[in-house]
Amino acid sequence: MKEKEIIEFIKKNIKIKNKDVFTGIGDDTAVIKYKKDEYFLITVDSIVENVHFTTEKATYYQIGKKAIAVNLSDIASMGGIPLYAVISAGIPEGKEKIIKQLLNGFKFMAEKYRFDIVGGNLTKSNALFIDVCIVGKVEKKYLKLRSGAKPGELIYTTGTLGASQIKKHLNIKPRIEEGRFLVKNFPVSSMIDISDGLSSDLITLAKESKVGFKIFLDKIPVSSEAKKISKTEKEAIFHALNDGEDYELVFTVPEKFRNKIPEKINSTKITYIGEITKKIQYTGIYRKEKIKITPSGYDHFF
């Protein structure tokens, strides 16, 4: 089975009985009833040696930062803020240099994004892996799911996309601040972070919202790295659509806010890329050419 097929299989075979669970399997985080006006957010993600990084190309400090960042991106996509983290790690050898660099990466992210590391687990492993669970919170009025997009709404993305494997995936900047600004100032109807690739994650959002979309391919904010490794504009756009590990946010807003969404939040670029459609089809428009968009991003099992 492909990754998303496995997730659907798990969803069908896990029955949630606790009424405090507002949203379970199927979004960027679980959402748990907490206070009268707030939810808890719970997310977990792993990074594994030779799958998400190699120790030849990444320092242990960078690996530690990345392990935290991919989870923070999930919290950001819900409009939330992080509170606590627990970390489980499998390490081939207990060298002080390795432990110190990993810990420094964890600590940097905890200080920068203002959450506490409150526990974890350590084991010996043939390959390095780090598994992080983060608990966050969000005000009920600001919670954003994948399932709220409506026909006629506009699609935006933060940052630039493509060729993250060159540099960006080891220096992820979770869009916590940008996500909070957006949910506090605009009626964002749906949001998702780009982990598998724009094509895959936007289709996931559309399916959860039971809508389609059309995106204007020449409007996609292609990264400078993707342009450097591409011979043509189309090739660069293909990287931006499908490479994955961008960890930017894709979000939707009503059409009347077209001229109110800022071009930047601090230094982060905000780009209009398309529209939500009632007809359930996924279309890319490149000048006068229409292209069917398929979920061609990263899949752990293919």
pLDDT digit string, tens, across residues 57-108: 999 999 999 999 999 999 999 999 999 999 999 999 888 999 999 999 999 9
Query: In the chain, what percentage of residues exceed pLDDT 70?
Result: 98
95, 60 Cβ separation under 8 angstroms: no
Q: Does the pLDDT of residue 197 top 50, yes or no? A: yes
Count of other CB atoms within 10 angstroms of residue 154? 20
Residue 302 has pLDDT above 70, yes or no: no
**What is the reported pLDDT for 162?**
96
pLDDT (0 to 100) of residue 13: 86
pLDDT of residue 50: 93
Is 239 part of any domain? yes
Domain boundary among 141, 176, 199: 141
Helix (H, G, I), strand (E, B) or coil at 61: helix
Range(s) of the domain holding residue 97: 11-141
Q: Structure tokens of 29?
A: 């985080």
Instruction: Quote the mean pLDDT of the chain.
Output: 94
Where a domain ends, among 84, 108, 141?
141
215: β partners: 274, 284
pLDDT score for 30: 96
Average pLDDT rounded to a whole number, residues 214-233: 97
Q: How confident is the model at residue 297 (pLDDT cuts 50, 70, 90)?
A: low
Is residue 69 included in any domain, yes or no? yes
- Do 182 and 150 belong to one domain? yes
Q: Let me know if residue 298 belongs to a domain.
A: no
Cα torsion angle, 88, 38, 80, 243, sign: positive
Over range 31-53, report the average pLDDT.
Answer: 96
* pTM of the model as a whole: 0.93
Q: What number is the average pLDDT over the span 168-183?
A: 97
Report the CATH number at residue 28: 3.30.1330.10
Residues 181 and 120 grouped into a single domain: no
Average pLDDT over residues 217-230: 97
Domain match, 180 and 231 both: yes
Q: Reply yes or no on whether the pLDDT at 5 is more than 90.
A: no
Asked whether residue 3 is domain-assigned, the answer is no
pLDDT confidence of residue 7: 78
Q: Provide the domain count of the chain.
A: 2
3-state DSSP of 90-135:
EECCCCHHHHHHHHHHHHHHHHHHCCEEEEEEEEECCCCEEEEEEE
pLDDT of residue 16: 86
Render pLDDT for 235-280 as a digit per residue (tens, 0 to 9).
999 999 999 999 999 999 999 999 999 999 999 999 999 999 999 9
